[in-house]
Amino acid sequence: MVRSLEAVFGLVFLHSGVLDFASAQGSFMITGKIVIRGAVGLHARPAADFVREAEKFKSKVRLAKDGIWVNGKSILSILTLAAEKGSVVVLEVSGEDEKAAFKVLETRLKDDT
């Protein structure tokens, strides 16, 4: 039996390229594609800054590039993505403070790298 996303997850919202899945109990995942704009890409310092911000939140944070998913709270994992300037990464945040976390981390990826 195949179910639609709405049947399984409740409501699915698409705004500004960000998917926000909501269930009857509330939201449980926010996902968005982000282009890395910084001159050095997501290198050591920007990755460390990203992880410091991610660790402030209780939500689970994951990043993906080219289909490879890594823990967004691990500097070494993020560095394995080799996300250079112009790379497209997927940011996925899930948990009780996901909306605030997504907003801060999205900004960090766009502006601080």
**Tokens, residue 77:** 């994992």
Name the packing angle between helices 44-54 and 98-111 (round to 10°).
170
The secondary element (H helix, E strand) that includes residue 101 is helix 98-111
15 is catalytic: no
CA distance 89 to 47: 13
* Active-site hit among 36, 43, 70, 93: 43
Known catalytic residues?
43
